[in-house]
Amino acid sequence: MRNFSTFFLTLLFFLAFPLTFSGQTLSADNDGDGCVGTPDLLTLLSQFGECSSSFTCGDLISHDGYDYSTVLIGDQCWFSENCRYLPSVSPSDFNNGSETVPYYYVYDYEGTDVSAAQATSNYETYGVLYNWPAVMTEGICPSGWHIPSDEEFTELTDFLGGEDVAGYALKSTSGWANNGNGSNSSGWIGVPGGWRSSDGFYYYGLSGVWWSASESGSNSWKRGLNDSNHVFSRYYSGRYYGFSARCVRD
């Protein structure tokens, strides 16, 4: 109602006096045809710009052609699924990986065709595996979101009871081998998407690992879940590994 009242008063003032927006002077009869009509009012409306849509955590957030689900955990708003951003697919025979060049993988996919990789069930369920340079590439998260820092992962872990037990609340209720499923009481839906090493893919169904944006010397911090316990482990790895990624809201 306040926005409407402001616009209505501005419109009345506009009909009586010229207005200036961003250095452009507008009069009621802006097109000079001797009549205040629809084109004049549309010109005024265009100066207000478009209204931004409101977002509440729990809503879907659209990015790169896909609608991600989100979840509020404590004071943090997280993606509740793994990132799927895939600008290219790195050949699986890049055995040495890279600590400087972005590499993108889909578990067990051996080709380089993005569309074919996106058509696999592993992409649909587990998203993309990124080396650390790829996970730090602009575009992986939508505007207003980012890859979480090590400190933000710690905040998540502490809210869920600490490193030794947080995994049970984070893990999905299905998909984990050896009866290693969690409760997913957090809504984070931590899935066992495995990871990529320098010589192949490993631990699908047994492990899920997520990069942080934080560095530790020449390595980077990550968090991991596995099938054998409910620990949400904190450790660092070389940047050539391919792990999953999540986004958290700014």
- Concatenating the DSSP letter of every residue in 100-164 gives SS--EE-TT--S--HHHHHTSHHHHHH--EE-HHHHTSTTSS-TTEEPPPHHHHHHHHHHTT-TT
Which pLDDT score, from 0 to 100, does residue 77 have? 99
**pTM higher than 0.85 for the full model?**
no
Which pLDDT score, from 0 to 100, does residue 198 have? 86
Which pLDDT score, from 0 to 100, does residue 230 have? 97
Which pLDDT score, from 0 to 100, does residue 199 have? 86
Give dist(CA 140, CA 147) in Å, integer: 8
Tell me the CA distances in angstroms from 193 to 10, 103, 105, 117, one per residue in order. 55, 17, 12, 15
Query: Are the beta carbons of 206 and 194 closer than 8 angstroms?
Result: yes
Within 10 Å of residue 132's Cβ, how many Cβ atoms? 29
pLDDT tens-digit profile of 31-70? Answer: 677 666 667 666 656 666 556 669 999 999 999 999 999 9
Q: Which SS3 state, helix, strand or coil, does residue 66 take? A: strand
Q: Which SS3 state, helix, strand or coil, does residue 15 take? A: helix
Place of tokens 């320098």: 198
Query: Are the beta carbons of 40 and 29 closer than 8 angstroms?
Result: yes
Tens of pLDDT along the chain (250 residues) come to 444 445 444 554 555 555 554 556 656 566 677 666 667 666 656 666 556 669 999 999 999 999 999 999 999 999 999 999 999 999 766 566 899 999 999 999 999 999 999 999 999 999 999 999 999 999 999 999 999 999 999 999 999 999 999 999 999 999 999 999 999 999 999 999 999 998 899 999 999 999 999 999 999 999 999 999 999 999 999 999 999 999 999 9
Query: Are the beta carbons of 198 and 240 closer than 8 angstroms?
Result: yes
The alpha carbon of residue 184 and the mean position of all alpha carbons in its chain are separated, in whole angstroms, by 19
Residue extents of the structural domains in the chain? 2-48, 61-249
Which pLDDT score, from 0 to 100, does residue 2 have? 46
Which pLDDT score, from 0 to 100, does residue 44 have? 59
